[in-house]
Chain A
Amino acid sequence: MYEAMTASVTASMPVSESAYGFTQTDIEGQALFSLPFGDIVNFLTPYTAVLFVFALTFTIIALISKPERQVDTVMGGDAYYTKDISRETLRFQRFMAIACGLATMGGIMAGDVFNFTLFTAFIGITNIGIVAAVKNKHILDNAFEYGLLAMIGTLPLFVGAALVLATTGTLSMWILFTPEVAVPLFAKLLLVIGVIAEGMAPVFVAKAEITRAPGAPYILMVHVSSLLIFLRVIEIVISM
């Protein structure tokens, strides 16, 4: 079964030599598409394309979906009330969520290590923005912790990218992903922990508390962006 289906799929894929000498890796398959911006060449592979579509879907959902109204029950009675988000806050959160979605798509497409780290920092700051709009003191406390983490996360991120450049002489993933170029483990580790801090993917504590904030489609973007960028950095680190 595997053989038959693999054969049919590879036959249907166009095999084209790319101008950047990056046709196929053992990790994510064929590059589908590239978009050069000078030295920074963005690209999509089947793997990143999946992530891209997912990010796009959730950005559109954030754009068109109205926030939910959280129900709070009042203890000692049958009463309950719903929390409504003010129009101003809603607009702000929606703006931030969309910016976050765009940053995520940028990070997914990035074909340059430093560009990727910048997009990751961008995600960090939009995430802070989304939660900072909430007035609840507990959530703000957590947002502050989250923000501190995003700030110190820029150190491993940028130092990681700088080390990649220093040890290989390039930042382009097209070159870094080829087997001839070796990136030291230290740089890879720095990149991963940097993304962990920015996107807070597995740093769960403050993020779980942040989830209490109302505005589901926007809060969800925090998670979408952090998980997607985390998936991307794993791909980058493994490919390098």
Chain B
Amino acid sequence: MMILLYIIFAVIVGLLFHGIHRKVIARIQTRPGPPIWQEFLHVMKFSFKQTWIPKTASKVLFVAIVPAVIAIWAGALYVLFTGGSLLVIFGVYLLHKITEHGLGLSSGSPYGKLGAIRSVLSAASEIPLIASIAGIYFVTGSLMISDIVAYQADHGILLITALPIALAMYVIILSKVPYSPFGIIEAKEIVSGNKTEHFGAFRAGLEVGFALKTFVLLAVFVTLFIGAMPFWMLLIASLILLLTMSFICALTPMLSPYDAVTIQIGVIIIVIIYMAFIAFAGGMP
């Protein structure tokens, strides 16, 4: 039952990360910004607000999608901490995409629908994803997280030895943090995108799921490319990673939907060239 404590802890940290992210963006843009526990307060507030299902919604789907979000990311956290297969975590990443579509489509709202359509568009981020997974396997010869951690203990950290792969992964995670230049599904012109119609307790559930997601993705990046470390250092490293992303989010405009896709395809081409290069050069240094 330790894992349950970890999940609760991860949710709190993830919400806090979201708050810090907002604060940093605001400060870079010389705004005061909300307090860092703002997202936490949001969840509390939403939990006790009135909740109902829109009349036009596809009811089962509308409700089921919320526990699905939490369940898949809790599963990902479990796999991460048990050193399981990296593929499972990135399976979860893609499954998250499905929940995004489902969120938007289930309500019948035009805003939600637009969010969902854009989330389908942004499915192109799967492309750098395969590239980076294949790259990691290519380099380390395993996809079990425990093996990758062990590999780094022997051969030095992957962030340095396999920089292009790390960059591809960075783009993937960047496209999932709030306010990202790739965050076309939550652009302001479509209100809250696919989350528009989920309010009250549903929204609280979603925020919990998304907090878990942020925590897991950051921790995965740190574990994969820097290696095993004590838990407190993992938190600090994740925070630093998040801060770099906050800078990017604060300083870049949101891309137009198809440009985001094109850039992500560009990333995979770089990774493929890199992999071809190391293949011809005869393996890793």
**Chain A residues with a Cβ under 8 A of chain B:** 1-2, 5-6, 9, 26-29, 46-47, 50-51, 54, 57-58, 61, 64-73, 82, 192, 201-202, 204, 207-209, 211-212, 216-217, 219-220, 223-224, 227-228, 230-231, 234-235, 238
Contacts and interface: CB of A to CB of B under 8 A. Distances in A.
A1 B110 CA distance: 46
Interface string B115-144: 011101111101100100110010001111
Among A2, A192, A201, A238, max chain B CB count under 10 A is at A2
A27 B126 contact: no
* Among B72, B102, B107, B142, residue most surrounded by chain A Cβ atoms (within 10 Å): B102
Nearest to A70: B108
A103 B60 CA distance: 22
A208 B133 contact: no
Contacts of B121: 204, 208
B84 A29 contact: yes
A6 B83 contact: yes
Contact of B123 (A57, A202, A219, A234): A202
A5 B5 CA distance: 14
Contacts of A46: 84-85, 88
A68 B197 CA distance: 13
B147 A26 contact: yes
Interface in B46-94: 56-62, 64, 68, 72, 75, 81-85, 87-88, 90-92, 94
Nearest to B147: A26
B243 interface: no
19 contacts: A5-B81, A27-B142, A29-B144, A50-B75, A65-B60, A68-B56, A68-B61, A69-B108, A202-B127, A204-B120, A204-B124, A209-B117, A212-B117, A216-B105, A216-B106, A223-B97, A223-B101, A231-B87, A231-B94
A67 B261 CA distance: 30
Interface residues of B, number: 60
A220 B59 CA distance: 14
Given A57-B64, A209-B117, 12 more contacts: A2-B228, A58-B98, A65-B64, A66-B58, A192-B130, A211-B113, A219-B101, A220-B98, A223-B123, A227-B123, A227-B126, A231-B94
Contacts of A29: 84-85, 144
Contacts of B83: 2, 5-6
B149 interface: yes
A82 B108 contact: yes
Given A26-B142, A26-B147, A68-B56, A216 B61 contact: yes
Interface string B225-266: 000101100000000000000000000000000000100000
Interface of A is mostly: helix
B146 interface: yes
B95 interface: yes
A231 B130 CA distance: 9
Contacts, number: 164
B109 interface: yes
B149 A67 contact: no
A54 B142 CA distance: 25
A207 B87 contact: no
Contacts of B116: 211
A1 B142 CA distance: 21
A1 B120 CA distance: 37
Contact of B85 (A27, A65, A71, A224): A27
Contacts of B58: 65-68, 216-217
A81 to B, nearest CB: 11
Given A50-B91, A201-B126, A66 B133 contact: no
Given A2-B149, A26-B143, A204 B123 contact: yes
Contacts of B118: 208
B185 to A, nearest CB: 11
A92 B36 CA distance: 50
